[in-house]
């Protein structure tokens, strides 16, 4: 195994292209933005819409019946 590592240490590695870091950051940033938007639309908006509609339905029921439904939904 040591022989292999010594051979590998002697190999010449070419330099990366000059704009390698910029291109890498652009690709990674684009992927991260898409991932954050998907997470936001799937998770945060769905969660807030669910709670908003529950509150709106509770308000409508209170307006129609005049009674607050005291349910523990924990």
Residue 16 in domain? no
Mean pLDDT (the chain, rounded)? 87
Number of domains, the chain: 1
Q: Is the dihedral of CA 41, 44, 46, 52 positive or negative?
A: negative
Residue 45 in domain? yes
Residue 12 in domain? no
Residue 41 in domain? yes
Residue 37 in domain? yes
pLDDT (0 to 100) of residue 39: 92
- 69 close to 61: Cβ distance less than 8 angstroms: yes
Could you read off the pLDDT tens digit of each residue along the chain, which spans 74 residues?
A: 678 888 888 888 888 888 888 888 899 999 999 999 999 999 999 999 999 999 999 999 999 998 887 766 54
Any idea which residue has 């950051």 for tokens?
25
CA distance 25 to 19: 10
Q: Is the pTM of this model over 0.75?
A: no
CA distance 74 to 69: 14
| Domain limits for position 62 | 21-69
Residue 49 in domain? yes
pLDDT (0 to 100) of residue 1: 67
pLDDT (0 to 100) of residue 63: 92
């Amino acid at each position: 195994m040591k022989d292999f590592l010594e051979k590998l240490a002697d190999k010449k590695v070419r330099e990366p292209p000059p704009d390698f870091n910029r291109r890498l950051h652009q690709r990674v940033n684009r992927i991260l933005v898409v991932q954050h938007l998907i997470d936001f639309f799937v998770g945060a908006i769905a969660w807030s819409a669910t709670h908003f509609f529950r509150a709106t339905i509770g308000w409508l029921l209170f307006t129609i019946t005049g009674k607050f439904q005291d349910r523990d939904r924990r």
